A and B are shown apart, each in its own frame.
Chain A
Amino acid sequence: MIELEGLTKRYGDKVAVDSLSFSVRPGLITGFLGPNGAGKSTTMRMILGLDHPTAGDVRIDGRHYDRLKDPLKYIGALLDAKAVHGGRSAYNHLLCLAQSNGIPNQRVAEVLDTVGLTAVARKKAKGFSLGMGQRLGIAGALLGDPRILMFDEPVNGLDPEGIHWIRNLMKSLAAQGRTVFVSSHLMSEMALTADHLVVIGQGRLLADTSMADFIHRNSRSYVQIRTPQRERMLDLLHDAGVTVVEAGTGALEVDGGKAEQLGELAARNQIVLHELSPQQASLEEAFMQLTAESVEYHAHTDSPQPEPAQPHPWGDDWQKER
């Protein structure tokens, strides 16, 4: 269990993480979603005690990270696959981590086997591909057989096979009752793996909900209608007690409507239809809408200055902070 309480990180007058409060529960995969630069990595670094919070608190199983005895046995993390000394072999990299937490040496061979790096265990890490580096990082996270696992953008830059492997790994870890906390900027990725969803934008909590709930609320299905007899169709629908949304493009959108019924209604009244198509709003769109609102909110409401805040790209500011 990871609990965040009003967790805040400020760099100068920039707020990277803005009083985040949520908890990550065991036995589930919790997706941590937000656009690049939303503060996901900063939050994860604060969970591990690498960055000091400006305000607020984060606890692992009720304790601060630096109060954990042998922390790798509580929580394993993959933050950055490049956080390895390239001149050290994969085996020695894992060995020094194991020793520092009193983990038996034979566990190193076990995790190397789990991630499929046994054959290159004695090779220097600098010769590793991105996928192999990612596997080495995951081996380090699994080393202490921890109850909590945290992955920062684990599928970034991986080939389809690697992505598939990581998805299955996370699912099997959660099935074993472990807490899995995984960040991504891709809604589609989360929809496939996560049970629970925490969405942030500009360091602020935007949603903390179950995946099923999020899908239910956000996957709007509707029927799109185009007709030259728009006014008549509107009247007909109105008489039938159907709610219609008039899209900006001139099309009519009927939420939750059935294309068959609408088509028959039009036919009975001899209305010419140019389009009658069932539509499904994607989760990706719902996510973008959610986070786009946070940008607007930030720009108009949150800045006391008379001039509007500079709408610079998401990724920019936190890269500079590092």
Chain B
Amino acid sequence: MATGQVVRSEWTKIRSVASTVWTLSLAVIVTIALGMLISALSSSQYDNMSRQDRLSFDPTYISFAGMSLGQLAMIVFGVLVVSNEYSTGMIRTSLAAVPQRGAFLFSKIAVAAGLALVVGLATSFAAFFLGQAVLGTHRTHIGDPGVLRAVIGGGLYMTLIAVFSMGVAAMLRSPMLSLGILMPFFFLISNILGNVPATKKVGRYLPDQAGSRIMRVVPEIGDHTPYGPWGGLGIMVLWVVAALVGGYTLLKRRDA
């Protein structure tokens, strides 16, 4: 079985369903629009901020504020790409055509991840430049130290969140179950665990908490995070790998 054939087939699959278009467009629009809104608010509040807040003022990170919501659309994209196969029964047709289950799953994920990366990077750059435009005098520049890394990192973060969701969906199969776990987790639970002092030490190793570190240019005051931007992204990659291994192991063993 030539992998190229399977990749082409998965590309046909992903481009021929409506959910791809609406989930990804939602991710782009929400991330950019909310980023611009928060940038505008931060800009107008700058004069009322305390000295400490001004010291940790991170124009890059502020322009990415929309990602907290935009990532939810990326999660839906990732979940649907995989679980659509199960909810429609297409999985039996697919596995009859491509019985090598590893080739099937990883071609699908490679195609979806590639698409998510393109969309994620475009979103990240757009959110950055539009956010900076709104921030006006408080803006930063793409050439400043660490900024380009953060902007590219934003695109990688969105991609990894989507791929993590694909792995979870491959394990759980049901779209409702996958979304029911992932959406509240990344929207609420992870944020709470990562910010409440009692759970912070553990919470910051969660995929989104660790991964989003790469989008920061100015560290928070009193930040004792034991990993740097790339270290954080590495932790997120480990989560993604774990989800994919889990998804693959179950797919390999289960009856379709």
Contact = CB atoms under 8 A, between A and B. Distances in A.
B249 interface: no
Interface stretch (A42-50, A164-172, A260-268): A42-50
User: Which range holds the interface residue count of chain A?
Assistant: 20 to 34
Given A88-B13, A95-B12, A80 B89 contact: yes
Given A87-B17, A87-B18, A77 B255 contact: no
Interface string B58-79: 0000000000000000000000
A114 interface: no
Interface string B220-254: 00000000000000000000000000000000010
B25 interface: no
Interface residues of B, number: 31
A203 interface: no
A27 interface: no
Given A70-B1, A80-B89, A84-B88, A92 B8 contact: no
A51 to B, nearest CB: 4
A24 B148 CA distance: 63
Contacts of B96: 48-50, 71-72, 77, 79
B99 A65 contact: yes
A209 B232 CA distance: 67
Contact of A96 (B1, B9, B92, B95): B9
A97 B93 CA distance: 8
A102 interface: yes
Nearest to A137: B93
A243 interface: no
A101 B6 CA distance: 8
A101 B99 contact: no
Contacts of B97: 71-72, 97, 100-101
A309 interface: no
B198 interface: no
B239 to A, nearest CB: 29
A101 B5 contact: yes
A79 B96 CA distance: 10
Contacts of A213: none
Contacts, number: 91
B43 interface: no
Given A66-B99, A85-B84, A85-B88, A99 B255 contact: no
A69 interface: yes
Interface string A59-86: 0000001101111100001011011111
Contacts of B84: 85
A72 to B, nearest CB: 6
Interface in A271-317: none
B195 interface: no
B19 interface: yes
B90 interface: yes
Given A77-B96, A102-B2, A102-B5, A51 B256 contact: yes
A123 interface: no
Contacts of B95: 48-50
B48 interface: no
A140 interface: yes
B99 A71 contact: yes
Nearest to B18: A87
A100 B88 contact: no
A23 interface: no
Nearest to A125: B88
A226 interface: no
Contacts of B98: 100
Nearest to A102: B5
Contacts of A96: 9-10, 12-13, 16
A221 interface: no
A89 interface: yes
Given A50-B95, A50-B96, A68-B99, A100 B9 contact: yes
A92 B10 CA distance: 11
B89 A83 contact: yes
Contacts of A79: 92, 96
6 contacts: A49-B99, A50-B96, A69-B1, A70-B1, A84-B93, A87-B17
Given A83-B92, A85-B17, 15 more contacts: A45-B255, A50-B255, A72-B96, A80-B89, A80-B92, A83-B90, A83-B91, A83-B93, A85-B85, A85-B90, A88-B17, A95-B16, A96-B9, A97-B9, A102-B2
Interface of A: 45, 48-52, 65-66, 68-72, 77, 79-80, 82-89, 92, 95-97, 99-102, 140
Lowest 6 A-B CB distances belong to which pairs?
A: A100-B9, A92-B16, A66-B99, A99-B9, A51-B255, A96-B12
Interface of B: 1-2, 5-6, 8-10, 12-13, 16-19, 84-85, 88-100, 253, 255-256
